[in-house]
């Protein structure tokens, strides 16, 4: 479940973790860093992010929850920002689903989407970080590729559908993805509502066929 596909992709963008890692390579002596502590810190970060949100999250709180000293955290991450970004990037990603038709692809992928939002910290962490972006450009920049990656599977689904001839050539694939994801986003942000897998089929049906009456 943990550590989705884009986790590695994100690692490349983590200038912060790279630095201490490189420094360690210079001197291979001394006590090695505990991998358990590393994982415990990331887990605690996600849990607290879900509970109290980004701005109320403190390094001290993470240390307490993870059962480590604060210094252990600051030795690896310069501040809570890169720590949060890495923890968020480690949340599960989404694999491509190719069920043969546009409709089935969308429905299956969306259901996996909602399940992930409901069963992991994603459902609470994502809105919190999204809300923070408006006031924190640095966080916004670091989160951007991770957020974009979560929309990518849908763009690919529509690319395949176009190749199959299921949609017209002039349809904006990005807009199509936004149209399908939209009601989820509205439910999550505008209404703070529950994401039920039952909402998937009506969304896809309506988005594909359109709202207007067909003549």
Partner DNA sequence: GGATTACGATACAGTACGTTCCGTAATCAA
Partner DNA sequence: TTGATTACGGAACGTACTGTATCGTAATCC
Cα–Cα distance measured from residue 31 to residue 98, given in angstroms and rounded to the nearest whole number:
47
- Tell whether residue 19 is a contact of DNA (CB under 7 A): no
Residue pair 103/94 in contact (Cβ under 8 Å)? The answer is: no
The two tokens of residue 135 are: 């006031």
Cα–Cα distance measured from residue 19 to residue 16, given in angstroms and rounded to the nearest whole number:
6
The 3-state DSSP class for residue 175 equals helix
208 binds, among DNA, a copy of itself, none (CB under 5 to 8 A by kind): a copy of itself
Residue pair 110/204 in contact (Cβ under 8 Å)? The answer is: yes
Candidates 5, 33, 133, 162; binder of DNA (CB under 7 A) is: 33
Q: Which residue has the tokens 């690692």?
A: 11
- Tell whether residue 20 is a contact of DNA (CB under 7 A): yes
72-111: which residues touch DNA (CB under 7 A)? 72, 74-76, 79-80
Q: How far is the CB of 142 from a copy of itself (least distance, A)?
A: 11
55 binds, among DNA, a copy of itself, none (CB under 5 to 8 A by kind): a copy of itself
In this structure, the chain runs to a length of 215
Residue pair 40/68 in contact (Cβ under 8 Å)? The answer is: yes
DSSP 169: T
Candidates 1, 30, 191, 212; binder of DNA (CB under 7 A) is: 30
Q: How far is the CB of 47 from DNA (least distance, A)?
A: 15
Interface residues toward a copy of itself, by CB under 8 A: 50-56, 102, 123-124, 127-135, 140, 143-144, 147-148, 150-151, 158, 165-168, 171-172, 175-176, 178-192, 202-203, 206-214
Task: Give contact residues for DNA (rule: CB under 7 A).
Answer: 20, 24, 27-34, 37-38, 58-61, 67-72, 74-76, 79-80
């Amino acid at each position: 479940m943990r550590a989705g596909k884009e986790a590695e992709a994100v690692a490349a963008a983590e200038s912060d973790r790279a630095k201490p890692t490189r420094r360690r390579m210079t001197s291979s002596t001394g006590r090695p860093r505990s991998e358990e502590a590393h994982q415990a810190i990331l887990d605690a970060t996600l849990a607290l992010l879900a509970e109290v949100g980004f701005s109320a999250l403190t390094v001290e709180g993470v240390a307490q929850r993870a059962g480590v000293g604060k210094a252990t955290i600051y030795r690896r991450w310069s501040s809570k920002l890169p720590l949060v970004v890495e923890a968020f990037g480690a949340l599960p990603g989404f694999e491509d689903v190719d069920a043969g038709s546009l409709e089935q692809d969308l429905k299956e992928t969306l259901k996996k989407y909602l399940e992930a939002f409901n069963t992991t910290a994603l459902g609470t962490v994502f809105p919190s970080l999204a809300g923070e972006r408006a006031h924190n450009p640095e966080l916004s920049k670091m989160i951007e590729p991770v957020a974009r990656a979560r929309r990518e599977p849908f763009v690919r689904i529509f690319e395949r559908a176009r190749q199959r001839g299921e949609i017209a050539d002039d349809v904006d694939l990005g807009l199509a993805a936004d149209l399908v994801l939209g009601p989820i986003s509205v439910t999550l942000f505008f209404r703070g509502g529950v994401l039920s897998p039952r909402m998937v089929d009506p969304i896809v049906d309506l988005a594909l066929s359109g709202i207007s009456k067909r003549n």
